[in-house]
């Protein structure tokens, strides 16, 4: 029996039209890959190869310029995320597709516990139960307990990143997008994160990830996709919008 992919990206391209400067900036071109349940696909390549662009395209923070992004959802239907309507995307983000970036986007004035438990709140898990699970994962990620009750706004980069990861991992999505989640973590915490990501994989989560460190790629990835900067990217300064 062959494994069916959760995500299949075909001929994905993205370029940005900057009206003010009259420029067309290519960011990704003709990207193809698949992501399978319980496996991790790593995107590698130099800065400017469009790795983050691919993740944002899948999450639809960016509108892809061309290609198809076929996602097989929980109910077995396949949707092209490029064409899916906004409510469909919002529904998938709420229930099935998670995104952990390098930066923490949290509502201000909210305790760390609640920030982490938020995805469970929105799915209707009881507040106390959700907070209990949040505390458990914060513990595993070595975030000092004295920080759990306060807002992460004033945390250090590494602390924020742990909060961000805790939230993303606790949500246990079907498809998880990770953009350099270990970039500012110490080696001990990085090992913990690797362990947690491995746990998620054994639970069947399909993961598409970008890692800063090659050794993390080696430890976690099942498939590796190398991206190259799109042709024309180095000369975009001369490029004019047709």
Partner 1 sequence: MDKVLEVRNLGKVFGKGCSRCFDETGPKYETNICPHCGSVVAAHDVSFDLYKGEILGIMGESGSGKSTAVKNLFFDQEPSSGKATFFDEGKQYDLFSLNAAQKRHLRNHRFGMVYQNPVQGLNFNVSAGGNIAERLLMNDLRNYKEIRDRAIELLRRTEVLTERMDELPKNFSGGMQQRVQIAKALAINPPLLFLDEVTTGLDLSVQAAILDLIMEIQQERGTAMIAVTHDLGVIRLLAGRTIVMKYGRVIESGLTDQILEDPQHAYTQRLVASAL
Residues that bind partner 1 (CB under 8 A): 16-20, 56, 60-63, 86-87, 89-91, 107-109, 121-122
CA-to-CA distance for 195 and 231, rounded, in angstroms?
38
Contact 63, 86 (CB under 8 A): no
Hey, which residues does 15 pair with through a beta bridge? Answer: 26
Output 13 or 190, the one with its CB closest to partner 1: 13
Tell me how far, at minimum, the Cβ of 63 lies from partner 1, in Å: 6
Tell me how far, at minimum, the Cβ of 204 lies from partner 1, in Å: 26
CA-to-CA distance for 65 and 159, rounded, in angstroms?
36
Output 122 or 156, the one with its CB closest to partner 1: 122
CA angle in degrees (0–180, nearest 5) for 122-126-127: 80
Torsion of CA 206, 58, 101, 36, to 10 degrees: 10
Tell me how far, at minimum, the Cβ of 61 lies from partner 1, in Å: 5
CA-to-CA distance for 74 and 94, rounded, in angstroms?
13
Query: DSSP readout, 176-187?
Result: EEEESTTTT--H
Output 86 or 238, the one with its CB closest to partner 1: 86
Contact 211, 180 (CB under 8 A): yes
Identify the residue whose tokens are 């597709």: 97
Tell me how far, at minimum, the Cβ of 77 lies from partner 1, in Å: 16
Nearest Cα neighbor of 30 from 55, 54, 56, 63 is 54
Hey, which residues does 80 pair with through a beta bridge? Answer: 70
Tell me how far, at minimum, the Cβ of 105 lies from partner 1, in Å: 9
Identify the residue whose tokens are 């029996």: 1
> DSSP letter at 57?
H
Tell me how far, at minimum, the Cβ of 17 lies from partner 1, in Å: 8
Tell me how far, at minimum, the Cβ of 6 lies from partner 1, in Å: 21
Longest dimension (CA), the chain: 57
Output 109 or 240, the one with its CB closest to partner 1: 109
């Amino acid at each position: 029996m062959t494994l069916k992919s959760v995500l299949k990206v075909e001929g994905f391209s993205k370029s940005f039209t900057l009206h003010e400067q009259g420029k067309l900036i290519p960011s990704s071109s003709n990207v193809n890959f698949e992501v399978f349940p319980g496996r991790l696909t790593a995107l590698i390549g130099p800065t400017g190869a469009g790795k983050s662009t691919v993740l944002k395209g899948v999450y639809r923070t960016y509108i892809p310029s061309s290609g198809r992004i076929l996602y097989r959802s929980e109910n077995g239907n396949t949707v092209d995320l490029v064409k899916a309507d906004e409510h469909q995307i919002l529904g998938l983000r709420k229930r099935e597709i998670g995104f952990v970036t390098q930066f923490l986007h949290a509502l201000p004035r909210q305790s760390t516990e609640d920030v982490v438990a938020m995805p469970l709140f929105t799915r209707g898990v009881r507040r106390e139960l959700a907070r209990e699970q949040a505390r458990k994962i914060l513990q595993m990620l070595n975030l000092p307990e004295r920080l759990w009750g306060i807002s992460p706004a004033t945390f250090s980069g590494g602390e924020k990143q742990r909060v961000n990861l805790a939230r993303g991992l606790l949500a246990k999505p079907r498809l998880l997008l990770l953009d350099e989640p270990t970039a500012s973590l110490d080696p001990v915490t990085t090992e913990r994160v690797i362990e947690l990501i491995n746990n998620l994989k054994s639970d069947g989560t399909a993961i598409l990830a970008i890692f800063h460190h090659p050794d993390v790629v080696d430890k976690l990835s099942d498939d590796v996709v190398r991206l190259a900067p799109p042709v024309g990217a180095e000369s975009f300064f001369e490029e004019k919008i047709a």
